[in-house]
């Protein structure tokens, strides 16, 4: 498995839009400056009362498919 650390700042309203299926993917900047696109359903695993804010590690398969997301530092 491979991983990349991304910075996420999503409001509650943005998270709700992902949850309702209005968006299929999230586009975020990695800590090293690359853009990363991953499935919107992944946000459901890390959303809190204030939305999603912090640095998260995304793991993906050798084929480049999303596998898992975990918080590293929330703020």
DSSP string computed for 35-55: EEEEEGGGGGGT-BTTBEEEE
Per-residue pLDDT tens digits for 64-75: 999 999 999 877
pLDDT at 75: 73
Query: Is this structure's pTM higher than 0.75?
Result: yes
Measure the CA–CA gap between 45 and 71, rounded to whole angstroms.
Answer: 10
Measure the CA–CA gap between 7 and 10, rounded to whole angstroms.
Answer: 10
The residue range of the domain holding 47 is 2-74
Task: Compute the mean pLDDT over every residue in the chain, rounded to the nearest whole number.
Answer: 93
Residue 40 confidence class, pLDDT cut points 50, 70, 90 = very high
Question: What does the DSSP 8-state code read for residue 72?
Answer: E
For the four alpha carbons of 24, 41, 55 and 38, in that order, the dihedral sign comes to negative
If one counts the domains in the chain, the total is: 1
As a whole number, mean pLDDT of residues 26-50 equals 93
pLDDT at 63: 94
CATH of the domain at 46: 2.40.50
């Amino acid at each position: 498995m491979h991983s990349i650390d991304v910075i996420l700042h999503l409001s509650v309203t943005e998270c709700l839009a992902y949850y309702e299926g209005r968006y299929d993917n999230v586009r975020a900047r990695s800590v090293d400056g690359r853009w990363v696109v991953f499935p919107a359903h992944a946000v459901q695993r890390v959303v809190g009362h204030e939305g999603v804010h912090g640095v998260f590690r995304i793991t993906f398969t050798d084929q480049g498919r999303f596998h898992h997301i975990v918080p590293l530092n929330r703020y």
